[in-house]
Amino acid sequence: MAEKARECRARVTALRELTPDVLEADLALLDPATLAFDAGQWISVPFGPKSVRAYSIASSPRAPATLTLCADVAPAGPGSRWFRGLAPGTEVGFKGPLGGFVLEPGDTRRVLLIAEEIGIVPLRAIAHELTAAGFARPAALVYWARDPGWLVYDDELRALARRHAGFAYHPITPADGEFVTIAQARAGDAADLVVYVAGGEKTIKEVRAAMVARGMERKAVKWEKFW
């Protein structure tokens, strides 16, 4: 169960380059010592009185003493420069946890996760939460990237699918066909389905329209916009 959002402090303990433009950082909590959050939530990092950046939590809420963040730093804006400047020992202030892009307690519907590039971050956390529950709810993940090198958690997700019959993983690139068409084909029967889509606004709108056209209610398509 997530806590109410609060001011927090943490220290960077590790920084990893997943690709030249995607970085991952581990933050060990200082105050509080642990943070209860739900898979899919994010934190807000201040860059001035009226400037903040949001970073989805990539790690599992079952390890509440450390948060893993993952970011696309290619845009080279203030948030990208801040993330590139992190190093072990750096102290970080932030507010969290925030956001409602989470699994609903008591929901038993099948789960379709749809990620566009860096939108994989909250969906990775959600996939691991479903893993912890033994995939009592069957789930599938459709993960699109411009090329295979941008499928940043590909090996991990393939291994997850091999270990769990209740989880299907579908990595795709433009060579495989049109993203939304493939995602729609993986949906199956819309009557017992909830969709979580994270990525760009255009993709979110197209996915939602496609799923509603299949008979889903709009509120059954949950989304998190990254750009």
Do 115 and 53 lie in one domain? The reply is no
- φ, ψ dihedrals at 157, nearest 5°: -70, -35
Distances, alpha carbon 11 to alpha carbons 30, 67, 96, 121, in Å: 7, 10, 15, 20
Q: Determine, yes or no, domain membership for 220.
A: yes
Q: Establish if 105 belongs to a structural domain.
A: no
User: Which among 43, 63, 98 is the end of a domain?
Assistant: 98
| Same domain (yes/no): 88, 140 | no
- Tell me, what's the pLDDT at 147? 94
Mean pLDDT of 65-92: 95
pLDDT of residue 49: 77
- 30 and 55 share a domain? yes
pLDDT at site 51:
87
pLDDT tens profile 142-166: 999 999 999 999 999 999 999 999 9
What per-residue confidence (pLDDT) applies to 83? 96
| Structural domains of the chain, count | 2
Specify the pTM: 0.94
CATH code of residue 19: 2.40.30.10
Q: Give the confidence band of 7 by pLDDT, cuts at 50, 70, 90.
A: very high
CATH number at residue 217: 3.40.50.80
Same domain, 185 and 209: yes
Q: What are phi and psi of 18, to 5 degrees?
A: -80, -35
**Alpha-carbon distance 43 to 52, whole Å?**
10
In terms of residue numbers, what domain contains 119?
110-225
pLDDT confidence tier of residue 47, bands split at 50, 70 and 90: confident
Residue type, 153: Y
The two structure tokens encoding residue 125: 């956390």
